């Protein structure tokens, strides 16, 4: 990984973590912010960084050049919206992995796109299982909160990225296989909107 790419990933990760810490909280309460910020770093780190690195790894597996590039406007919106809306609005479009390959097939494009949401689902399941298995009497509520937020945020990243609207991952997966897309999207939809 080049130093520019690593720097842009870290800037994006920290910016989204700050924004996520303000989202849904009292943005004037710095104590609350500093309590939530470490949880946000872990949740966003596993959700965002693992997602992007999964795209990158699968693209490289198919012989493509792949590199993360941050989007400054998206980062500014992610940072400013929760602050000016007193924690009620959140928008995160930090950037994306740009892929360069002369002969990427529809299947390869779908597999590259699927890598990010699948990674989020796997991480979400791991943290959810830990959340469910750890006895609340042994672990501090802060750790339980961390496990829960990491699981929920990873499931949310997977769901959002599987929405079948270009340029989101879901549009490329659905174009290749509506069945695979539906098997992933609808359980996540039910998780957030029906359960």
**For residues 7 and 13, what is the distance between their CA atoms, to the nearest angstrom?**
10
Contacts of 120 (CB under 8 A, 6+ apart): 47, 50, 51, 154, 155, 157, 158, 161
Active-site residues: which are they? 52
3-state secondary structure at position 89: coil
Distance CA 88, CA 82 (A): 6
Furthest-apart CA atoms within the chain: distance in Å: 56
Which candidate, 52, 34, 39, 55, places its Cα nearest to that of 92?
A: 52
- In a 10 Å sphere around its CB, with 0-12 CB exposed, 13-18 middle and 19+ buried, how is residue 5 labelled? middle
Rounded CA separation 107/113 (Å): 10
């Amino acid at each position: 990984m080049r130093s520019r790419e690593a720097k842009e990933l870290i800037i994006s990760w920290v910016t989204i973590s700050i924004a996520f810490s303000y989202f849904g909280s009292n943005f004037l309460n710095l104590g609350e912010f500093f309590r939530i910020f470490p949880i946000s770093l872990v949740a966003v780190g596993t959700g965002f960084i693992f997602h992007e690195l999964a795209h990158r790894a699968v693209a490289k597996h198919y012989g493509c050049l792949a590199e993360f590039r941050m989007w400054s406007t998206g980062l500014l919106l992610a940072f400013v919206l929760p602050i000016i809306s007193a924690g009620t609005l959140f928008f995160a479009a930090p950037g994306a992995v740009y892929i360069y390959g002369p002969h990427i097939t529809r299947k390869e494009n779908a597999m590259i796109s699927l890598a990010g949401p699948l990674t989020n689902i796997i991480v979400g399941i791991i943290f959810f299982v830990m959340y469910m298995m750890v006895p609340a009497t042994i672990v501090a509520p802060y750790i339980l909160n961390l496990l829960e937020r990491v699981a929920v945020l990873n499931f949310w990243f997977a769901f959002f990225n599987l929405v079948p609207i270009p340029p989101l991952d879901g549009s490329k997966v659905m174009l290749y296989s509506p069945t695979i897309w539906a098997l992933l999207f609808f359980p996540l939809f039910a998780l957030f909107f029906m359960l």
